[in-house]
Amino acid sequence: MSFEVFNVVRGLHILAVVAWMAGMLFLPRLYAYDAEQSGKAEPLKSEMQGLLRIWQRRLLKIIINPSMAATWVFGVWMILIHVYGFGEGWGFVARPWMATKLLAVVALSGWHGFLSGEFRRIQAGTSVRSGRFWRMTNEIPFLIAVVAVLSVTTEWTLG
């Protein structure tokens, strides 16, 4: 495995991360607009919610889900290059910065799972979340991303 392949995979990983994050930062905003239609009169309410739910579906299925899969594929690929290609062994994933990074991406994936569950509830009309809830939690993925990015850029270690 050459060093150049690693750099191409690293670039593709970053591009996939950009798309995943963009989608996860925008989807809760569509959920907020959707929740805030509940006090509106018909037929505007149904028309708006119908449109918002199409946008939610497209964003989740076309952008967010595939870019999460691509982020994982390229990320795991780089781990395998470190372990086998660079001969660093599985101790690589136990390095403090890499372990922190992995905890952060598991948390981000969990947030993704929560948004997917809410998508199904919103489509079924059974969601109980308010617009305020979505506005207050909107920055959660960004805060987790700060941990994920700084752990790889600093490669921090103990002592």
Instruction: Please give the residue ranges that form the binding site for ligand HEM (CB under 6 A).
Output: 10, 13-14, 17, 21, 71-72, 75-76, 78-79, 105, 108, 145, 148-149, 152-153
Half-sphere exposure of 136 (CA within 13 A, CB side): 5
Q: With beta carbons less than 8 A apart as the criterion, state whether 41 and 136 touch.
A: no
Q: What are the φ and ψ backbone dihedral angles of 127, each rounded to 5 degrees? A: -70, 140
Q: How far is the CB of 21 from ligand HEM (least distance, A)?
A: 6
Minimum CB distance to ligand HEM smaller for 48 or for 70: 70
Which residue number, 10 or 57, has a Cβ lying nearer to ligand HEM? 10
Q: Which residue is nearest to ligand HEM (CB)?
A: 75
Please, which residue, 30 or 78, has the CB nearer to ligand HEM?
A: 78
Measured between alpha carbons, how far is residue 38 from residues 18, 34, 44, 117, 129 in Å?
32, 8, 10, 20, 11
